[in-house]
Amino acid sequence: METMEKKKMAVVTGAGGTLCGPIAIDLAKQGFGIVLIGRTAEKLEKTAEQIRLAGGECIVALGDVKDENRMREIRDEAFRRFGPCRVLVNGAGGNQMDAITTVNEFEPAELEPTHDFRGFFDLDMSRFRDVIDINIMGTVIPTKVFAPDMIRAGGGSIVNFASMNTYRPLSRVPAYACAKAAVSNWTQWIAAYLAPAGIRVNAIAPGFFVNERSRKRLMTPDGGLTPRGEHIHYNTPMHRFGQAEELLGCLNWLIDDAKAGFVTGITVPVDGGFLCSAGL
């Protein structure tokens, strides 16, 4: 179809999530043909429904971003429909409860046979490794698969998802912290590597945005704050959590070749001032 041939293609991984769902919808409203990648069909279909209601076009593609063969299958299907990828948003990632401690620092009882908390020495290393893989390899592999089409088309933009953990390791989330630090480093490395090919690579580091998983740790059933949620509000100068729509301006700037054409290899915090506050 003629309309499909004229569309630029944007690939969004983690497109069923709290943050990347609205990003995918916004890109569709700008005229991109969207490839929605994720592991949960129900979540992806919710995003797809919003895109279609807005008059946009998308492909729902179930797949694990760590599976290179599956990513290549998705690339082939997407290329046939929309042509080469011009924007890649590597939003897939996340954490796992078994890779999170329930205490902020070591307690001697942790070395005893039985105790009623989960410390670092209790963590399931297979789950720890899963967190590393989804956040790091789940960013590297889609880049490897979709960037060659950008090169052949004359350029493109990649936006990775970092975190506040990129800058300082937050308590209780050791696997997620080291993974997100690695995402920023990878962003710099691949930005320098792909610069001669006309591809700009940057990252966004969201502050505290509530999703389904974090809601249980940060908010009470009645909509109030847990002690950890209160601590985050106290240390965020704007004294609130972010809204997904508040990421759109940063992302749209980063992918705009006219307005950010000389910008590559940076990680932009969108954090309500969290990084500029010492909490004192």
Indicate the SS3 state at residue 223: coil
φ and ψ of 48, to 5 deg: -60, -40
Q: Which residue has the tokens 């908390």?
A: 117
Contact 274, 208 (CB under 8 A): yes
167 is catalytic: no
Q: Give the C-alpha separation, 89 to 35, whole Å.
A: 10
Amino acid type, 205? A
> Which residues partner with 58 through β-bridges?
34
Indicate the SS3 state at residue 26: helix
Q: Compute how many other C-beta atoms are within 10 angstroms of the C-beta atom of residue 278.
A: 5
Q: Give the C-alpha separation, 63 to 94, whole Å.
A: 16
Among the listed residues 167, 176, 193, 234, the single catalytic one is 176
Catalytic residues: 176
